[in-house]
Structure 1
């Protein structure tokens, strides 16, 4: 005769099996899936922490482990080495990687360059650059060098002013060294991004407004993964994207939550965090605008040939 203990054990097991049977297809697998994310160090990463705090990842049946990454190309290298599953990288760095034959793909946007800039050409206080035409013979600091979103902005701007690429010194600077480099005169202008762009403005840097039009509407920092990972973990990736879309909606409605992440995850001054402009999160890619930029990347010699959209945007990415 079955003992009471055995009966209880058997009853519990049957209940667990019945509960699993009622889950949507793939949910049991997704519950066990851990997604390792290497985030950007410069901003637009707040959705990750909001999704965790609001329980969106848990609701989606996934666990997300977030690590602070480095420059866009460094994050791509770690993705290729299998050290992470999803990265935050520059939109144009991903195009460069795809054009070089690396099996990476964009899975989720973060923000577009909208009406209020989150990047652009900035000049330190008392700087001599007032217009694009003044850049001839000057030094411009870029995060990641010319092979970047900011590099495309600069080359498009120089072309509009009839200035040859060789007439401007392009200096590759780390994200956190750009402002100081301009303040001490090592470069005449900078094109920072994200939090560093806003921080530079708070320090008295002025914008050469005519330059921003050459990048407006494009994606900036995006999420990407390897093509093999999204193929083998399609359900988990769809769950990740769905959870992040909820986090974006929450962050857009509750900016205090975004500022709380800033305070916890950055070293930005508290007074600046309280007042900085927060660009809206956007999940879908601006495909037409991005496609034109990809074509210009080929024209300027960034890449040998522009890849097709299907080669650099995952089929499960939001539309």
Structure 2
């Protein structure tokens, strides 16, 4: 059994029901001039938002930024399309999938690249007999979104090992359910993200490191907006990006500020927060790495066509 590709899905996968939209409408105040309603990632790389607020960078730019905790990447894209947020955090490849289907979305700012030290990867529970990619044949792999960075990582790694996507079953799981699912044997391996990746490491999960190498250098979690909002709020968005870049610089120089946000905004164990690896914040996109990955997304059936970067990357996004 294999994953269903995005090309077989309908645009409705990114849309919300009327009831859900109505419920969401109360979650954000009506937008004012120079206000930005942000849906952040629930799993990490969001610390810059709180640092920008705490250090007064948003205030310096005359911005009123309201931050809410979002959901999975595709859910945040759906809320963006429904007008329930101005800027969202989403997976870089989830945004590509939306753009490939014609949704008017723009990547406007990066948060982190898949750097030298992994913040995601292919992991197995303690005691697992899976030691190589070949051992995955016939196994189930849990991940937060099949048409995702992690899905591409798995398929690229399998291809390099002489296997195909039909050799495994990818299972879509919530961020916070993957570790427990693997521990209970419901899936044989997982591809967690951010804080949950580090938590799996602390629990003694093994890692097939060759998988992560397949996506190294590509954008991880990004900020995105709708073309309509960008077109009407270019100066506001430029100010938001400038404030965030200052927050990135501050966070990279003061890791204790990042850990303080972790303590205030997550339920991760204090001892883990004190010692976890903090990947550097990066504002610009490595466009060549991203373009190569997009071509492979089409090859593996994640998207129906290869969109040009200019179709979904804002022209004023940091280089």
With normalisation by structure 1, the TM-score equals 0.89
Residue matched to 1:224: 224
Q: Does 1:150 align with 2:153?
A: no
> Is the 1:37–1:65 contact (alpha carbons within 8 Å) kept by the matching residues of 2?
yes
Cα distance between partner residues in 2 of 1:169 and 1:306? 25
Q: CA deviation at 1:43?
A: 0.2
Q: CA deviation at 1:164?
A: 2.2
Residue matched to 2:18: none
Three-state SS of the structure 1 residue aligned to 2:109 is strand
Structure 2 matches for 1:226-305, cutoff 5 A?
226-305=226-305
Q: CA deviation at 1:61?
A: 1.0
Residue matched to 1:5: none
Gaps of 5+ in 2: 1-31
> Is the 1:32–1:61 contact (alpha carbons within 8 Å) kept by the matching residues of 2?
no
Q: CA deviation at 1:131?
A: 1.2
Residue matched to 2:98: 97
Residue matched to 2:140: 139
Q: Does 1:48 align with 2:49?
A: yes
Q: Output one character per residue of 1:93-151: Cα deviation in whole Å (capped at 9) or x when no partner.
A: 1000001000001000000011100000111100111111111011110111x200000
Cα distance between partner residues in 1 of 2:129 and 2:225? 42
Q: RMSD in angstroms over aligned alpha carbons?
A: 1.1
Residue matched to 2:124: 123
Q: Output one character per residue of 1:42-76: Cα deviation in whole Å (capped at 9) or x when no partner.
A: 00000000000000000011110000000100000
Q: CA deviation at 1:32?
A: 4.1
Cα distance between partner residues in 2 of 1:247 and 1:306? 33
Q: Which moved more, 1:266-275 or 1:295-304?
A: 295-304
Residue matched to 2:25: none
Following TM superposition, where does structure 1 have runs of at least 4 consecutive aligned residues deviating by more than 3 angstroms?
none
With normalisation by structure 2, the TM-score equals 0.89
> Is the 1:90–1:221 contact (alpha carbons within 8 Å) kept by the matching residues of 2?
yes
Q: Does 1:310 align with 2:310?
A: yes
> Is the 1:121–1:211 contact (alpha carbons within 8 Å) kept by the matching residues of 2?
yes
Q: Output one character per residue of 1:243-272: Cα deviation in whole Å (capped at 9) or x when no partner.
A: 000000000000000000000000000000
Cα distance between partner residues in 2 of 1:231 and 1:206? 46
Cα distance between partner residues in 2 of 1:247 and 1:202? 28
Three-state SS of the structure 1 residue aligned to 2:213 is helix
Q: Across the two proteins, how many residue pairs are aligned to each other?
A: 289
Structure 2 matches for 1:181-200, cutoff 5 A?
181-200=181-200
Residue matched to 2:111: 110
